Structure 1
Amino acid sequence: MEELLNSTAADVTQLKYALDTFYFLVCGALVMWMAAGFAMLEAGLVRAKNTTEILTKNIALYAISCIMYLVCGYAIMYGGDYLLSGITGDGFTGAEEPATYAPSADFFFQVVFVATAMSIVSGAVAERMKLWAFLAFAVVMTGIIYPMEGSWTWGGNSVFGMYTLGDLGFSDFAGSGIVHMAGAAAALAGVLVLGARKGKYSKDGAVNAIPGANLPLATLGTFVLWLGWFGFNGGSVLATSDVENSNAVAVVFMNTNAAAAGGVVAALIVARMLFGKADLTMALNGALAGLVAITAEPSTPSALQATLFGAMGGALVVFSILTLDKLKIDDPVGAISVHGVVGLLGLLLVPVTNDGSSFSGQIIGALTIFVWVFGTSLVVWLALKAVMGIRVSEEEEYEGVDISECGMEAYPEFTSAK
């Protein structure tokens, strides 16, 4: 009888291990699909003459993120051998008890988060940055900058040996600050060094709209991101093989969806009040803002609270986009507002429903992340500008970076012969 009980317990343990590993991998695949969402969203919101280049950036940055996080990023963030961590030896090949899922599944889930942070930068610097300068920055961002701030947060390490953010009451469930605000901070540094697109701002201070080429594509990208976000937030529960974790996963999915819906409606209403029209681009950014706002803590709010939090993000993003334009900070897709400004909002909303966090801890954590990522990114952008230049020429910008950077157009049938 005892032997039978031991055998049954072992079978249950193995089943839980298999289920949690499979759940982790499926959620990671959903987050990876967000790379397609970012690519479609950005391709839809830039002009046709810059489409091929931005698609190239998106697939290349994903590949670079995967390689750099494997080579050194994961080790910086969670400890271990730095060079070729997980390739040499058996660091990612299996696990012994009491691990609840495969180490390689954890790596896969973490690496797609890194790519998400880097994707945020892509849209903000679109239409005027040199492709290879962007990719050079991606190497540093995904290999060093992001993993370092990740080691202070999810990694649990002290900040330069001074303090641990967790002990101060900092909490970020799935990365409103760690992923989204970090990506926006890097993007802001790049935009400030790069400057605005030609024609975006007039000498008299007027802001000139530069419409995207394909709003159906941008809308598709937003829906893809909305879908992928269930893996982003849901996977951060880290397990689903027991009743408690299954219930938590269901709540996170419900709240994630509710927040996105609240963001869309609020952004539409604010746009209608300000512009007298239903602005689709604001609605799309409202959905993403709602998702970012709930990402810091999707497990403790009620569904109604999640909807209201998302609505706050959707309303805020409209005002943020308009404010950045007044400051002549040119962000073609609104990435800095969606992921940075609303990412901060998400962090500040955590203590409303999570007693384990504090407003002071959230503020200190946000400042730590922003100062580190913005400061180091600014140094890297300035170094790249000095060494290789980061902006294309005026002529190349006018003709479109598709030709100068990639040698091909995304929509050649619509281009008249010369």
Structure 2
Amino acid sequence: MIGGLAFWAFGFALMFGGSSLAPGLERGTPLIGLSGFFLAGSAYQDQTAMLWFFQMVFAATAATIVSGAMAERTRTTAYLAYSFLISALIYPIYGHWVWGGGWLGNLSAHLPSLGEGIGARDFAGSRVVHAVGGFVALMGAAMVGPRLGRFNRDGTPNVIPGHSLTLVTLGTFILFFGWFGFNPGSTLAATDLRIAMIAVNTFLAGAAGAVVAIYFGFFRTGQLDLALACNGALAGLVGITAPCAYVAPWAAVLIGGIAALVMIGASAFVERVLRVDDVVGASAVHGFAGLWGLLAVGIFADGTYGGVRGLIVGEWAQLVAQLISILAVTAWSLGTGFLIFWLIRETIGLRVSPEEERIGLDLTEHGAEAYPSGRRLPVEAM
């Protein structure tokens, strides 16, 4: 909710000002937008409100990615603060560079050697939404520190299992279904018949990610890991989000399967090398798989939509543009993530006390039991 208000007041204007995608969004620079604040003035139009509502959900997604990585030891006030800052500043400014008429979307104007019309492409948000959220999540999880008991003194990790695989699976199905609004909806018009190919590619990549992940776990342990399959599906969906409009179905299967492997490798890297406690694997699923999605545009785009052409049809310029975008999103997300979490830690506080963590944040932060014990009132009190 607070992210939605932040995007209404500041984020939407900073992101789309200068894009002229709707009335009231005419002023902006290659770095930030300058019009559309509060949906007021000339931005008080039905078409502009429609664009805001769709894009607001993207902004909220970038902020909620972070919450999973930092779960079980972060102050609720810190959640509210970083959700506001991500939705008002971090996500919109980077989004402007790509979707709002900024410098990344028009790289050829700054690097003429790339060729006319070349810019970093991200159809539905592998980097703008997922990589931004994933790498801010990585920085947040690193700065808040691991949960009690997550790592031994020698740095080896301990597994803290989630309490309900049923809810994990249900959540994955809900996300999978929602992706069909996320990716096909980014055409912004159902009259664009490419919407059918985008939907097919979205399904195929998510399915390939799930299958590759579950078989990887089976060959490694002899068991079918349901949680790994769920994250594999999500990684496949994240990976296809940038190239979904630009690639053929066979490429979508390959992109989704590779995204699952990227997620598995990144999860091990974050846990065992960086020793960061990312509770749900958000940085691996959204951050690293998002970077793979960006790279996939430069490799597999076949020129059948939007004139985007990658290595598969002998063009190298798009791959260079995607690599520049990868560097930009990584530096921006980690750098701004460090800044906001440092500010929160030094002001209102980022982490609860060890005692509060042991008792549980449902009681200490919210004053209510998430799972009431079922105690009944005595008969005389009834």
Question: How does the TM-score come out when normalised to structure 2?
Answer: 0.85
Amino acid at match of 1:181: A
Structure 2 CA distance for aligned equivalents of residues 250 and 232 of structure 1: 13
SS of residue in 2 equivalent to 1:412? coil
Match in the other structure for 2:45: 93
Structure 2 CA distance for aligned equivalents of residues 151 and 374 of structure 1: 18
Structure 1 residue corresponding to 2:139, chosen from 174, 178, 189 = 189
Match in the other structure for 1:13: none
Match in the other structure for 2:22: none
Match in the other structure for 2:267: 321
Structure 1 CA distance for aligned equivalents of residues 35 and 247 of structure 2: 41
Match in the other structure for 1:70: 8
Contact 1:72 1:85 survives alignment (8 Å):
yes
Match in the other structure for 1:298: 244
| Alpha-carbon offset, residue 300 of structure 1 | 2.7
Deviations for 1:60-99, whole angstroms, at most 9, x for unmatched residues? xxx11211111011111111586982443351423xxxxx
Match in the other structure for 2:96: 151
| Alpha-carbon offset, residue 413 of structure 1 | 3.0
Structure 1 CA distance for aligned equivalents of residues 334 and 178 of structure 2: 27
Match in the other structure for 1:333: 280
Structure 2 CA distance for aligned equivalents of residues 92 and 414 of structure 1: 51
Structure 1 residue corresponding to 2:224, chosen from 278, 296, 313 = 278
| Alpha-carbon offset, residue 168 of structure 1 | 5.1
Structure 1 CA distance for aligned equivalents of residues 374 and 69 of structure 2: 26
Match in the other structure for 1:362: 322
Match in the other structure for 1:380: 340
Amino acid at match of 1:208: N
Match in the other structure for 1:40: none
Structure 2 CA distance for aligned equivalents of residues 197 and 414 of structure 1: 28
Matches within 5 A, 1:12-411: 63-79=1-17, 80=25, 85-94=37-46, 102-158=47-103, 169-241=119-191, 245-246=192-193, 248-327=194-273, 328-354=275-301, 355=303, 356=308, 358-411=318-371
Contact 2:133 2:287 survives alignment (8 Å):
yes
Amino acid at match of 1:278: L
| Alpha-carbon offset, residue 141 of structure 1 | 0.9
Deviations for 1:346-375, whole angstroms, at most 9, x for unmatched residues? 100112232525221111112112211211
Structure 1 CA distance for aligned equivalents of residues 90 and 127 of structure 2: 14
| Alpha-carbon offset, residue 414 of structure 1 | 6.8
Structure 2 CA distance for aligned equivalents of residues 283 and 385 of structure 1: 35
Tell me whether 76-85 or 147-156 shows the greater mean CA deviation. Answer: 76-85
Distance 1:91 1:83, change over 3 A: closer
Amino acid at match of 1:89: G
| Alpha-carbon offset, residue 274 of structure 1 | 2.1
| Alpha-carbon offset, residue 133 of structure 1 | 1.1
Structure 2 CA distance for aligned equivalents of residues 236 and 154 of structure 1: 11
Distance 1:312 1:128, change over 3 A: same
Distance 1:83 1:72, change over 3 A: farther
Amino acid at match of 2:148: K
Structure 2 CA distance for aligned equivalents of residues 164 and 183 of structure 1: 27
Question: How does the TM-score come out when normalised to structure 1?
Answer: 0.78
RCO (CA 8 Å, sep 6+): is it higher in 1 or 2?
Answer: 1
Contact 2:12 2:36 survives alignment (8 Å):
no
Aligned residues: 343
Deviations for 1:214-262, whole angstroms, at most 9, x for unmatched residues? 1111111100000000010001112222xxx12x001101110011100
Structure 2 CA distance for aligned equivalents of residues 201 and 69 of structure 1: 37
Tell me whether 124-133 or 294-303 shows the greater mean CA deviation. Answer: 294-303
| Alpha-carbon offset, residue 301 of structure 1 | 2.1
Contact 1:176 1:346 survives alignment (8 Å):
yes
Distance 1:164 1:270, change over 3 A: farther
SS of residue in 1 equivalent to 2:51? helix
| Alpha-carbon offset, residue 276 of structure 1 | 2.4
Match in the other structure for 2:313: none
Structure 2 CA distance for aligned equivalents of residues 275 and 361 of structure 1: 40
Contact 2:120 2:325 survives alignment (8 Å):
yes
Amino acid at match of 2:177: L
Unaligned runs of 5+ in 2: 18-24, 28-33, 310-317, 378-382
- % identical aligned pairs: 39
Contact 1:260 1:288 survives alignment (8 Å):
yes
Amino acid at match of 2:297: V
Structure 2 CA distance for aligned equivalents of residues 127 and 315 of structure 1: 27
Task: Name the Cα RMSD after superposition.
Answer: 2.3
Structure 2 CA distance for aligned equivalents of residues 295 and 181 of structure 1: 11
Structure 1 CA distance for aligned equivalents of residues 15 and 200 of structure 2: 30
